[in-house]
Amino acid sequence: MLQNYFKVAVRSLLKNKLFSFINIFGLALGMSCSLLIWLWVQDEISYNRFYPNLSRIYFIRSGFDWKGQTGAGMATPGPWQEAIQKQVPEVAAITKITWNRDLLIKAGEKSTKENGIYATDDFFKVFVTPFIHGNAASAISQPTSIAISRKLAEKYFGSGNAIGKMMKVDNKANFTVSAVFEDIPLNATERFDWIINFKVQEQDWMKWWGNSSFKTYALLTQNANAAHAEKVMRQVIKKSAPPELLSFPLLQRFEDVHLYSDYKGLQAAGGRIEYVRVFSVVAIFILLIACVNFMNLATARSVKRAKEVGVRKVVGAERKYLTMQFLGESLIVSILASILALFFIMAVLPFFNEVVQKQFTLSFSDPSLWLSLTALLLITGLLAGSYPALYMSALQPIRILKGRLAFTTQGAYLRKGLVVFQFVLSIFLITGMLVIGRQMNYIQTKRLGLDRENVLYIPIEGILIDKLEVARQEIINSPFVMAATSTGAIPTNITSNSGDLDWTGRDKDLDNTVNATFVGYDFTKTMNIKMVDGRDFSKDFAADTANYIINEAAARMMKMKDPVGKQVGFWMGKGTIVGVMKDFHLSTFHEAIKPLILVNYKGLNTEYLMIRAQSGKTKEALDHVEKVTKSLNPDYPFSYHFLDQDYEKMYRSEMIVNTLIKCFGLLAIVISCLGLLGLAAFTAEQRTKEIGIRKVLGANVGNVVALLSRDFVKLVLLAIVLSTPLAWYATSHWLQGFVYRIDLSWEIFATAGGMAICIALFTVSFQSIKAAIVNPVKSLKAE
């Protein structure tokens, strides 16, 4: 019996080649999209899962609650780590780390820049890491020790044991390799290739309570209550810190850090999890659209298979066996589609990896791949084939054999409903494509308050720090360079903040937290930032080393109408505000512009030399900068970055979403059009004689096309009405993540609806025109 069912299924597929192709190709596209999204989602939710004590690791954020205004930052003050370590019994280990740094590493004749961190002693107690040589206890216990990854050990010392070998870091101090750890996986929040004891680079400012510049992680004891531990931490910090410090510890589970990086007030409000949800929904949408195609075409063609069902029932076939037969046919289609989907994935995987900037591979030896594919195959086959199987197995044999079976009102409504459902999903994705695309364009073109074009920067390293002003003067002594300045942070990503700002008449209950960075002369000139009042730092004013520049947001925070000339206290002691800058974006459009203070300083905390090149002369400016830096700092390789490229990297997630939504949205439209094409072909086939009679009576091609297209256009219009409020709600919710965003105008939804109508008309017209140009004689002879 099963063999007979299989033969019937294969013959049915071969007999109806067009509809078989539409079903298999549509399902293959849907399954391949779903599998690609599954690869991405699986990677996102796997971050940090390899740590054996993951459930006990917590990221300590810096929270604040001032007059009802709440928030949370990633950076914490340096003294928190020691205070918590000594006074909170629920903490088994705690570590403080710097942000990642690219420093020159030398070993023998080899020297390249490598990425690493400085961390306190308990780092490997918090983050349990497998070691190839050495152990966690001694890895960074000494200030002269360095622990390196397997990759670095093999790169510098070959396959031998690297323990005891010497490495020179930043061309300053020699360190002894004390341990070699396994390479940190790609799906880790904290990735590095070398790690050195924090005290090696510790300075006085790192011990200030008001300066938040480090990340802090804690490992709680077994069975510790995180809420209680957080409460104790707050009490300890409140007792230990100066009374004017308003920030307090806020614990976040480390397993949530990657997916829930955004905070609204004191609660995690989203982050990467939003995109995981978005693409999970997109995967379901696309798969549903493909399944709906199958269901629609199968039920529409039920008339063609009705006699087969009637004969089988008359000779004794039970409904359950007929249901099994049609479900089996659906599973065969799904198997063929899954095979084709694997070929699709292998073809597009390199492009997909490039877009999402990951390294996915399709390993056929991986059991999870086959389990996922089998699950997808069964879900798709049963979902797509369930209704057609139940519908066709329920047909009454008497009506069938008497020739009384026709399209029922119920069946017609179902098919129309499925078409509407398909286009609701498709229009929803089209709207998402348009909104995300416009927001990305807005981000890329909006004036930031500074000019990021034609700006490059180089790291200040080695002996360049001691020759900084000499280097700056030589660099600007070129017709290809407009200006140059030093800075402690990239101007479009100033994240360091401090609560050390003080001024005469300050309300002690007023939040005085400001973002801050060190800069050199000509900062505003180099970045093309407008001055509202006062001036930039200048070498013509010797006192500027103790003076400050603020932005408009800082002036508003201090409630100063004319800040220039007023005295404030900050990192360099008492000083005068010499200038007020127009507000510019310190970070992404997700955040409002914060108060900012600039400190004129050229010391160890100066990280970059920013250079503005003449427009169209970037290559010449680069050659000049390279020549100057190599002559002054010959031990370091020349490296540079462009500010506009760095700015775009800040929106990497949004850019990836933009690209993927466009690709998957287009695929969803293609799949919907395949189903529409099949239904149009079937409708034209059913109305062959009607079309012939109309043509004999004088109808032209346009009349026939309008006749066959009218019903489908009505369905698309209904889909527009249903999808618009859903799309508005979803896109407005996404845009709320940006403080600066586009307006959701009616034009966006009108464009999405117009695109859907045009696509539907084009798809249906193709088949309608084909039916309309057939000779009416042939149509009237058709059986």
SS (H, E, C) 575-636: EEEEEEECCCCCCCCCCCCCCEEEEECCCCCCCEEEEEECCCCHHHHHHHHHHHHHHHCCCC
Query: 552 or 758, which is more confident?
Result: 552
Q: What is this structure's pTM?
A: 0.77
Torsion of CA 106, 109, 114, 118, to 10 degrees: -20
In this structure, the strands spanning 173-181 and 145-149 are parallel
Percent above pLDDT 90 for the chain: 29
What is the Cα 514 distance to its own chain's centre? Answer: 28
Of 555, 553, 602, 601, nearest to 577 (Cα)?
555
Given a cut of 80, is residue 99 above it in pLDDT? Answer: yes
Of 601, 606, 553, 557, nearest to 580 (Cα)?
553
As a whole number of angstroms, the distance between CA 392 and CA 398 comes to 14
Given a cut of 60, is residue 2 above it in pLDDT? Answer: no
The model's pLDDT over 63-83, given as tens digits with 9 standing for 90+, comes to 887 666 777 888 899 999 999
Of 208, 209, 181, nearest to 194 (Cα)?
181
The model's pLDDT over 615-648, given as tens digits with 9 standing for 90+, comes to 889 899 999 999 999 999 888 888 889 988 887 7
As a whole number of angstroms, the distance between CA 57 and CA 480 comes to 51
SS3 content of the chain, % helix, strand, coil (to 5): 50, 20, 30
Q: Which two tokens stand for residue 338?
A: 């899954």
As a whole number of angstroms, the distance between CA 654 and CA 550 comes to 31
Query: 764 or 600, which is more confident?
Result: 600
454-469 average pLDDT score: 88
Q: Which two tokens stand for residue 251?
A: 């614990």
Alpha helices (H) along 46-101 = 80-87
As a whole number of angstroms, the distance between CA 107 and CA 167 comes to 5
Q: Residue 23's CB: how many other CB atoms inside 10 A?
A: 28
Of 189, 212, 227, nearest to 62 (Cα)?
212
Q: Provide the 3-class DSSP secondary structure of residue 181.
A: strand
Confidence of residue 233 (pLDDT cuts 50, 70, 90): very high
Confidence of residue 153 (pLDDT cuts 50, 70, 90): very high
Predicted pLDDT of residue 15: 66
* Least confident among 255-264, 398-407, 420-429, 726-735: 398-407
As a whole number of angstroms, the distance between CA 672 and CA 675 comes to 5
As a whole number of angstroms, the distance between CA 23 and CA 85 comes to 63
Alpha helices (H) along 406-551 = 409-445, 468-476, 523-527
Domain range annotation of the chain = 1-47+265-406, 54-257, 462-635
The model's pLDDT over 253-283, given as tens digits with 9 standing for 90+, comes to 999 999 988 877 778 877 888 888 888 888 8
Q: Residue 635 carries which side chain, given as an amino acid letter?
A: D
As a whole number of angstroms, the distance between CA 676 and CA 711 comes to 12
Confidence of residue 407 (pLDDT cuts 50, 70, 90): very low
The model's pLDDT over 666-686, given as tens digits with 9 standing for 90+, comes to 887 777 777 677 666 666 666
Mean pLDDT of the chain: 82
CA distances from 220 to 197, 251, 265 (A): 22, 11, 24
The model's pLDDT over 160-215, given as tens digits with 9 standing for 90+, comes to 889 999 999 988 889 999 999 999 998 999 999 999 999 998 888 788 888 888 99
The model's pLDDT over 118-147, given as tens digits with 9 standing for 90+, comes to 999 999 999 999 999 999 888 999 999 999
Q: What is the DSSP letter of 477?
A: S
Predicted pLDDT of residue 636: 87
Q: Residue 353's CB: how many other CB atoms inside 10 A?
A: 14
The model's pLDDT over 571-616, given as tens digits with 9 standing for 90+, comes to 888 999 999 999 988 777 777 888 999 998 876 678 899 999 998 8
CB 96 within 8 A of CB 59: no
170: alpha, beta or left? (left if phi > 0; alpha if psi -120 to 50): left
Query: 286 or 6, which is more confident?
Result: 286
738-764 average pLDDT score: 84
Predicted pLDDT of residue 647: 79
Give long-range contacts, CB 8 A cutoff, 24+ apart: 223-230.
Answer: 224/56, 224/90, 224/92, 225/90, 226/58, 226/251, 226/253, 228/90, 229/58, 229/88, 229/90, 229/91
In this structure, the strands spanning 69-73 and 57-66 are antiparallel
As a whole number of angstroms, the distance between CA 280 and CA 284 comes to 6
Given a cut of 60, is residue 372 above it in pLDDT? Answer: yes
Given a cut of 90, is residue 219 above it in pLDDT? Answer: yes
Q: How many residues does the chain have?
A: 783
As a whole number of angstroms, the distance between CA 744 and CA 728 comes to 8
CA distances from 121 to 81, 95, 127, 199, 281 (A): 11, 7, 12, 9, 44
Q: What is the DSSP letter of 221?
A: P
The model's pLDDT over 534-579, given as tens digits with 9 standing for 90+, comes to 999 988 888 888 899 999 999 998 888 889 988 998 888 899 999 9
As a whole number of angstroms, the distance between CA 662 and CA 680 comes to 26
